[in-house]
Amino acid sequence: MYTSSLVNQLKPSETLAAAAKARELRSRGIDVLEFTVGEPDFITPQHIREAAKAAMDAGHTRYTAATGIQELKQAICDAFRRDHGVSWKPSEVTVSNGAKHCLHNALVACCEPGDEVIIPTPYWVSYSALVELTGAKPVLVETAEKDGFFLSPEQFRKAITPRTRLMMLNSPSNPTGGVYPVETLRGLADVAVEKDITVLSDEIYDKLIYPGHEFRTFASFGEEVRKRTVIVNGVSKAYAMTGWRIGWTLAPENVSAAINKLQSQQTSNPCSVSQYAALAALNGPQECVSEMCREFAKRRDYVVSRLRAIPGLSFAEPGGAFYAFFNVSSYFGKPLGGGAAVLNATDFCTALLERAHVALVSGDAFGAPGYVRLSFAASMELLVRGLDAIEKFLAG
């Protein structure tokens, strides 16, 4: 039976593939220390779970509007104004089935075959695949560890061609944890306005910011920037709600109208009960977010201190999210963990899993050969054991 060439060319998600390998070893009774998946290890806060139960008991178990209930759209606008000082209207909001669905919606709504989409590397594994599904071409622009892995305004300008439709931005970043400096964002915003380029700003980690770093939404640099910005966000990371599958886009009304039209044909609506849970998350007490962020900060400090103490590793300091992205290329060609030499980051991760039973994700998946990603959304006990095992593995 024939299948689409676009789908045939897609590569499976490397993060999910790494997690699957870890599960396979675990099913054989092996104690795997897993740091692959970008998912908070906390349970969804109780007041949010209670709101979901109340919604079910109240009968909110039927179809909703295809693009989300009005109360949630208003809450998203209110929360954005409260947190970032930028105003949006409910008509500019589309609630979808998680941030990945939002990204796909926005790309399909904005891009056509032959268009180009600028993506700074390292980048989240799904970005280029989602661009390719539209028939557009990902234009990968390499950034450097010494620069914090931040795209400069000059690099942005140089990458623009007559076919450039859009640029994708992620701050805080998956996989690096980098939080773009405000002045760098301002420079990128100036280029976007000058060249009339839409910026798709993935801000899913906006509430997970560590001391010494400042988050600014891309839409905050004036009305001309806001008119060229599509923001993606959701409740997955900040509220430990990955499985609830609620994300949203904030976009100018014409883009939102296109996204709404698309989603009305894709899916009847985001999960009704999850929408009411998200409403409670945004409108309820925010101390739970601060508590989780403080715990992530402790883990981040521990991971950073351990990695700094291991010879031959380098990285840009993560200022947000819950990832450490470090360069292991100095160990290529060396026997590790009592086995044969590794040649690249994918080899490194395979050897680390098989010989030391520690699961990381190869930087090859993120467009950054030589690097690996460790998610510190894991208990301190697991992090201690995992870093002990990595240190021992690297010692040969």
Sign of CA dihedral 137, 141, 145, 151: negative
In CATH, the architecture of 5-43+288-394 is Alpha-Beta Complex (3.90)
Q: What is the mean pLDDT of residues 131-160?
A: 98
Q: Are strands 164-170 and 116-121 parallel, antiparallel or unpaired?
A: parallel
Count of helix runs (H) and strand runs (E) in the chain: 14, 13
pLDDT confidence of residue 289 = 98
Q: What percent of the chain has pLDDT over 70?
A: 99
Q: Which helix (H) or strand (E) holds 247?
A: strand 247-250
Q: What is the mean pLDDT of residues 250-270?
A: 96
Give one DSSP letter per residue of 329-357, joined into a string: GGGTTSB-TTSPBP-SHHHHHHHIIIII-
Split at pLDDT 50, 70, 90, the class of 24 is confident
Asked if 152 and 205 count as a contact pair (C-beta separation under 8 A), the reply is no
CA pair distance 130, 347, nearest whole angstrom: 26
Cβ neighbourhood burial of 328 (10 Å; 0-12, 13-18, 19+): buried
Asked if 35 and 375 count as a contact pair (C-beta separation under 8 A), the reply is yes
Domains 5-43+288-394 and 62-283 share a fold: no
In the 8-state DSSP scheme, what is residue 210? -
pLDDT confidence of residue 390 = 98
pLDDT confidence of residue 287 = 98
Split at pLDDT 50, 70, 90, the class of 207 is very high
Q: What is the mean pLDDT of residues 75-95?
A: 98
Q: What is the pLDDT of residues 276-291, one digit of tens each?
A: 999 999 999 999 999 9
Q: What is the mean pLDDT of residues 247-266?
A: 97
**pLDDT at residue 17 greater than cutoff 80:** no
pLDDT confidence of residue 351 = 95
Question: Which residue has better confidence, 339 or 191?
Answer: 191
pLDDT confidence of residue 172 = 98
**pLDDT at residue 341 greater than cutoff 90:** yes
CA pair distance 144, 147, nearest whole angstrom: 5
**pLDDT at residue 129 greater than cutoff 70:** yes
pLDDT confidence of residue 6 = 74
Split at pLDDT 50, 70, 90, the class of 20 is confident
User: Which is nearest to 386 in space by CA: 358, 360, 349?
Assistant: 358
Q: What is the pLDDT of residues 344-379, one digit of tens each?
A: 999 999 999 999 999 999 999 899 999 999 999 999
User: Which is nearest to 76 in space by CA: 66, 61, 86, 62?
Assistant: 86
Residues present in the chain in total? 396
Split at pLDDT 50, 70, 90, the class of 201 is very high
CATH number listed for the domain at residues 62-283: 3.40.640.10
Question: Which residue has better confidence, 37 or 156?
Answer: 156
pLDDT confidence of residue 48 = 98
pLDDT confidence of residue 23 = 78
Domain boundaries, the chain: 5-43+288-394, 62-283
CA pair distance 109, 253, nearest whole angstrom: 12
Split at pLDDT 50, 70, 90, the class of 22 is confident
Question: What mean pLDDT, rounded, does the chain reach?
Answer: 95
Q: What is the pLDDT of residues 294-319, one digit of tens each?
A: 999 999 999 999 999 999 999 999 99
Q: What is the mean pLDDT of residues 7-25?
A: 74
pLDDT confidence of residue 15 = 67
Split at pLDDT 50, 70, 90, the class of 2 is confident
